[in-house]
Amino acid sequence: MKKILLTKEIINDVLKELGDYEVDIWDESKDGYLTKDKLKSIIAPYSGIISMLSNPLNEEVLKEAKNLEIIAQYAVGYNNIDVNYCKQNNITITNTPDVLSHATAELAFALLLNIARNISTSAQETKEGAWKGWEPKGYLGTSLKNLKLGVIGPGRIGTEFTKMCQGAFNHEVFYYSRSIKEDFEQCFQAQRLELNELMKSCDIISLHCPLTNETKNLLNKDNLHLLKKNAILINTARGEVIDQDDLVDILCRRNDLKVGLDVTTPEPLDTDHELFKLKNVIITPHIGSATTTARTEMGNIVCKSVKDHFLGRTPKFKISHENH
Amino acid sequence: MKKILLTKEIINDVLKELGDYEVDIWDESKDGYLTKDKLKSIIAPYSGIISMLSNPLNEEVLKEAKNLEIIAQYAVGYNNIDVNYCKQNNITITNTPDVLSHATAELAFALLLNIARNISTSAQETKEGAWKGWEPKGYLGTSLKNLKLGVIGPGRIGTEFTKMCQGAFNHEVFYYSRSIKEDFEQCFQAQRLELNELMKSCDIISLHCPLTNETKNLLNKDNLHLLKKNAILINTARGEVIDQDDLVDILCRRNDLKVGLDVTTPEPLDTDHELFKLKNVIITPHIGSATTTARTEMGNIVCKSVKDHFLGRTPKFKISHENH
């Protein structure tokens, strides 16, 4: 009977859904955090792995995975997996796109509203008794009506996010992408700009691109300083898309900027990190896909991907190695 | 020269805008909080007052206001003012409607997103180091897509809020109001319901009614228990529209509910209040109108109202006593 490793417990009843196979669920509370070395030492017998972004499936680990046929990644991104090694060794990779697009876009939208209107800061001060009474000049925020929105990476999530922004606040939409996105342009009367131009022109910049060699440190000291006065920057993509040290540098000099991050480098950040000391920054714990709906659907997909593969069918969300 | 009292410093340069009059700005840092007794003792010489919700302009205080002609309230609500006394004594009251509708609707919308997706709780835990790593079952929130929205008080603010909800999330809209609101129904394909029916049917309930004798404790133990499983309740109107003790009671029994409050009874609440202990409640410090845009426009209106009155013109936003 083929063996499957699930690296963290998920909402779905995986033992039932994958009842035809032998499923091991890594139990962190009993066996501790699944480090690279632990993963290396246990991976050999498994034909399938249901993996998380936090599992380092690099060459060093995969060399031990003598029986591995499929990695069903419980996420849309898979920058934790050595795709080239998998290609050479005939290991199928699948992911969970689409089903988390709305949830992640919603999270970006929630961060935007939160930071624009000082929700978390003001709520925390209220809770702690630091708020003494209503003040005409207290906790002044930015209205989001009719602003200019700049989307970096107008894919599925970027499109959902733009729908929310334009639907609620009538934003004028600009985007940055390697290629022209005709559907996006038509849907939102959006205009494509060079990155520097986008940074200079928009009141809101939101990142929705995957992490690749091209997008690593895409935002850095050469372009972060171009941000408009009072601009809002949102990152729900990957921490590494922003050079985090450069971000800290600019934020220490410009307290007009507001930043909402669902992703950082690393995750979690040390509690004494500079970003936690800034009032104009909010950081959530990588909860882009954290709705009951999205996580249930992600669970359905990983189970179906593994089953399809073992039954000789091509999983619907198989990663095409041609893109790499 | 007529004397004007401004009870708190505002963004606008009032001394310049009202340069033809003698303006005193109450300086809390120097003279302490403007209590009822202090207000009583200083009010006599003023012909005009630019007042805040926190200023008790009841009969006891107004009896001392021998020269008072106009109260220009820096808010849309004016439940701090004895309207009948003003009517009998020919004191004009003005408020600042419209200009804060968008800002307040936006705040209700921000609270909705915040509480639906656990933004503040999860951000606080991240900051404190309580978050140890990404979990498939961590911080699961509610997706807002296609839910049923119930608006209590479909006036200007309620209408702006509904536009945002329907524009971003395609909500099906229901409302509760004394009278049929045809424009609202047409604009959102909205359906009017009895209060109990609204509480039972909707995933989101948002309060946008003024505080009156009729709306005081409108939500109480008789209807709060009707809330749907996982319902979200938002109050950016006035604390007194909800019986707060009844709210605490139900929240202690039902942790599926989520509540966002920008208003409470009193403001601020004591820091040991039960509401601060609940993870499914977020409380902001009455910042509905707290955007630079809205507060500047509110300042423009109060100055213009006072000037218009003193120059013998009827202020545009004069409260009609006929409604009371």
| Domain ranges for chain B | 3-99+292-323, 101-283
Residues of chain B neighbouring A113 (CB-CB closer than 8 A): 106, 109-110, 113-114
Task: Count Cβ neighbours within 10 Å for each residue of B177-197 and write b for 16 or more, e otherwise.
Answer: beeebeebeeebebebbebee
Tens of pLDDT, residue by residue, chain A (324 residues): 999 999 999 999 999 999 999 999 999 989 999 999 999 999 999 999 999 999 999 999 999 999 999 999 999 999 999 999 999 999 999 999 999 999 999 999 999 999 999 999 999 999 999 999 999 999 999 999 999 999 999 999 999 999 999 999 999 999 999 999 999 999 999 999 999 999 999 999 999 999 999 999 999 999 999 999 999 999 999 999 999 999 999 999 999 999 999 999 999 999 999 999 999 999 999 999 999 999 999 999 999 999 999 999 999 999 986 555
Does the annotation count A240 as an active-site position? no
> Is B282 close to A164, i.e. CB distance below 8 A?
no
Sheet holding B204-207, edge to edge: B191-192, B172-176, B148-152, B204-207, B232-235, B258-261, B281-283
Q: Cβ separation of B290 and A139 shorter than 8 Å? A: yes
Please state which of the ranges B28-32, B123-127, B190-194, B227-231 shows the lowest mean pLDDT: B28-32
Residues of chain B with C-beta less than 8 angstroms from the C-beta of A111: 119
Confidence at residue B315, expressed as pLDDT on a 0 to 100 scale: 98
- How many Cβ pairs within 8 Å bridge chains A and B? 217
For an interface test with A, the pick among B122, B124, B230, B265 (most A C-beta atoms closer than 10 Å) comes out as: B122
Q: Cβ–Cβ of B137/A295 closer than 8 Å?
A: yes
Confidence of residue B293 (pLDDT cuts 50, 70, 90): very high
How many beta carbons lie within 10 A of that of residue A184, not counting itself? 19
Pick from B111, B66, B117: nearest CA to B288? B111
d(C-alpha A233, C-alpha A216), whole Å: 17
Give tens-digit pLDDT for B27-72. 998 999 999 999 999 999 999 999 999 999 999 999 999 999 999 9
Residues of B in contact with A275 (CB under 8 A): none
Q: Predicted confidence band at B322 (pLDDT cuts at 50, 70, 90)?
A: low
Measure B114 CA to nearest chain A CA, in Å: 6
Question: Are B285 and A134 a contacting pair at CB < 8 A?
Answer: yes
How far apart CA A149 and CA A232 sit, in angstroms, is 10
Tell the CATH topology of A101-283. Rossmann fold (3.40.50)
Burial class (CB in 10 A: 0-12, 13-18, 19+), A244: buried
Q: Looking at residue A320, what is its pLDDT?
A: 86
Are residues B284 and A53, on separate chains, in Cβ contact within 8 Å? no
Compute the distance between CA of residue B168 and CA of residue B172 in angstroms, rounded to an integer.
12
- pLDDT, position B273: 98
Q: For this structure, is A238 an active site residue? A: yes
Residue in chain B closest to A292 (alpha carbons) equals B140
Asked if A134 lies within 8 A of B53 by C-beta distance, the reply is yes
Task: Check if the beta carbon of residue A7 is closer than 8 Å to that of residue A52.
Answer: yes
Distance of CA B177 to the CA centre of its chain: 18
Give the integer Cα–Cα distance in Å for B9 and A136: 7
Residue A115 is predicted with a pLDDT of: 98
ipTM of the complex in this document = 0.94
Contact residues, chain B, for A165 at CB < 8 Å: 168
Instruction: Tell me which residue of B150, B50, B156 sits closest to B98, measured CA to CA.
Output: B156
B284 contacts A119? CB cut-off 8 A = yes
The predicted structure's pLDDT at residue B320: 86
Mutation for B interface: A79, A119, A289, most B CBs within 10 A: A119
Of B54, B127, B142, the CB nearest to A133: B54
**What does the pLDDT average to over B178-184?**
97
Nearest residue of B to residue A298, measured between CA atoms: B136
Percent of chain B with pLDDT over 70: 99
> What's residue A323's pLDDT?
53
* Catalytic residue set of B: 238, 267, 286
CB–CB contact A271 B129 (8 Å): yes
Q: Which CATH superfamily is domain A3-97+292-323 in?
A: NAD(P)-binding Rossmann-like Domain (3.40.50.720)
Candidate list A171, A286, A295, A309, residue with the active-site label: A286
Which residue out of B27, B125, B126 would a mutagenesis test of the A interface target, given it has the greatest number of A Cβ atoms within 10 Å? B126
- CA B45 to chain A, closest CA, distance in angstroms equals 24
Do the Cβ atoms of B114 and A109 come within 8 Å? no
Mutate to test the interface with B, among A274, A291, A293 (most CBs of B within 10 A): A291
pLDDT of residue B13: 95
Instruction: Using an 8 Å CB-CB cutoff, list chain A residues near B267.
Output: 133-134
Residue B85 has pLDDT above 70, yes or no: yes
Query: Angle of helix B156-169 relative to helix A156-169, nearest 10 degrees?
Result: 160
Q: How far apart are CA B131 and CA A284, in angstroms?
A: 10
Distance (Å, rounded) from C-alpha B112 to C-alpha B192?
22
Q: Would B3-99+292-323 and B101-283 be classified into the same CATH topology?
A: yes
What are the helix (H) ranges across A141-220?
A: 156-169, 182-188, 195-201
In angstroms, what CA-CA distances link B278 with A131, A164, B249, B257, B274? 19, 29, 11, 11, 7
Closest by CA position to B218, among listed B191, B195, B245: B195
Of A60, A125, A197, A267, which is the active-site residue?
A: A267
- Distance from the A135 Cα atom to the nearest Cα atom in chain B, whole angstroms: 7
Chain A neighbors of B141, CB-CB under 8 A? 287, 290-292
B3-99+292-323: in CATH 3.40.50.720: yes
A268 interaction partners in chain B (CB closer than 8 Å): 126, 129, 131-133
